[in-house]
Amino acid sequence: MRGLIGPREAPRIWERHLLNCAAVAELIPSGASLVDVGSGAGLPGIVLAVARPDLTIALVEPLARRTAFLSEAVTELGLDDTVTVVRGRAEEVAGGPLPPADIVTARAVAPLDRLAGWCLPLAALGGRLLALKGSSAAEEIAEHEAAVGRLGGATPVVRWCGETLLDDPTTVVEIVRERLVVPARSGKAARPERRSSGRSSGGGRRRRG
| Strand pairing report for 56-61 and 33-37 | parallel
Q: Residue 116: is its pLDDT beyond 50?
A: yes
pLDDT at 113: 95
Distances (CA, A) of 86 to 40, 59, 110, 147: 12, 6, 19, 27
- In tens, the pLDDT along 129-175 reads 999 998 899 999 999 999 999 999 999 999 999 999 899 999 999 99
pLDDT at 132: 96
pLDDT at 135: 87
Q: Residue 205: is its pLDDT beyond 80?
A: no
CATH superfamily placement of domain 7-200: Vaccinia Virus protein VP39 (3.40.50.150)
Mean pLDDT throughout 179-187? 63
Rg of the Cα atoms in the chain: 17
Domain edges within the chain: 7-200
- Cα separation, 171 vs 97, whole angstroms: 31
pLDDT at 4: 59
Query: What is the maximal distance between C-alpha atoms in the chain?
Result: 59
Residues 6+ apart with CB under 8 A from 75: none
Q: What is the rounded average pLDDT for all residues in the chain?
A: 85
Q: Residue 178: is its pLDDT beyond 70?
A: yes
- In tens, the pLDDT along 69-115 reads 999 999 999 999 999 999 999 988 988 878 999 999 999 788 999 99
- In tens, the pLDDT along 24-46 reads 999 999 999 999 999 988 999 99
